[in-house]
Amino acid sequence: MGRAASRAVLVSADAASPRELLAIARDEAVAAGALLLESYLSGHAQGVDSKSTPTDLVSDADRLAERVIREGLALRRPDDGFLGEESGEQEGSSGLRWVVDPLDGTVNFLFGIPQWAVSVAVEDARGAIAGVVHDPVRGETFAAMRGGGPPTLEAPAVASPVSGNPPPGSGVGSGSLQTHELSSSSCSDAATAMLATGFAYDAHVRAAQARVLAEVIPRVRDIRRFGSAALDLAWTAAGRYDAYFERTVKPWDIAAGALICEAAGLRVCELPVHEDLPWGILVAPPALCEELIGIVGGAAAG
């Protein structure tokens, strides 16, 4: 009851605007992030299991965060569908579906590495309408909506460390927030591009990805691999990377982040299946896309 009372009033499916849906996405992501941050800072994550492989982990924190988001959406958007990484899919009747990764970067979370996030998006038959990637550790919230102009970053007015005390605006403690528009990279030359990527849990796929990386590294400025696809996308939209590519990503990994990148003027391209490399995506400035597809697509390493 207290949780429901702390949120905005329920919005009917017919009345919802992209801005209203975005506000709901932000509320739910921040609420789940506050719970996750408390667990992260205490170092008391429990109930850790493996999923597809021994390195593909899920914790009680993942499950709790998804339950918090799902229950909040059920109160405010009872007719909408839901797709979550941990609890699967539930059909709705409104024509809208929420796509949620309650804790993207679980391994980082469990190892105390401060690069993980909550991703919440809502979509219709045309794709994502609104999306939020919330970074509780830094108190940063990246957001975009279809047709709503450039994406935004809401962040603490005063930068805070990524360890120790919770940052302002993170849901723990208090602090003022500032919001500004994101500006993505305009890089047009792969040789000067900073790329982000991620690796699959399957060892066979990782081996194929390693062959691709051997081709890529000499042809770009450098590569970063931190572990959260949602944050990699948000950081690419913010210009912290020039481009991002990854195979084996799932809808909940990229639903919010891809929309944020598109709103920032970046192209989101498919990487087709190629031999041992599953489907994936590449996000980059338009002038850089074709060159990067040729480099990271896998043909040279096949």
The per-residue pLDDT for 186 is 96
Domains of the chain are 2-181 (3.30.540.10), 190-301 (3.40.190.80)
Query: Residue 292 has which token pair?
Result: 């990067």
2, pLDDT greater than 50: no
**Percent of the chain scoring above 70 in pLDDT:** 82
Q: Which residue has the higher pLDDT, 156 or 170?
A: 156
The per-residue pLDDT for 159 is 57
Distance CA 13, CA 19 (A): 13
110, pLDDT greater than 70: yes
Q: What average pLDDT does the chain have?
A: 86
The per-residue pLDDT for 61 is 82
160, pLDDT greater than 80: no
87, pLDDT greater than 60: yes
Predicted TM-score (pTM) of this structure: 0.86
Distance CA 12, CA 101 (A): 24
The per-residue pLDDT for 158 is 67
- Which helix (H) or strand (E) element contains residue 152? strand 152-156
* Helices and strands (H and E) in the chain: how many: 8, 15
**Percent of the chain scoring above 90 in pLDDT:** 72
Q: Please tell me the least confidently modeled range out of 117-121, 157-161, 217-221.
A: 157-161
173, pLDDT greater than 50: no
The per-residue pLDDT for 16 is 82
The per-residue pLDDT for 48 is 52
Which strands make up the sheet holding 222-224, listed edge to edge? 222-224, 194-197, 243-247, 280-284, 267-271
Query: Residue 219 has which token pair?
Result: 């042809």
- State pLDDT tens for residues 232-286: 999 999 999 999 999 999 999 999 999 999 999 999 999 999 888 999 999 999 9
85, pLDDT greater than 50: yes
Give mean pLDDT, residues 77-99: 93
- State pLDDT tens for residues 27-44: 999 999 999 998 898 876
The per-residue pLDDT for 1 is 33
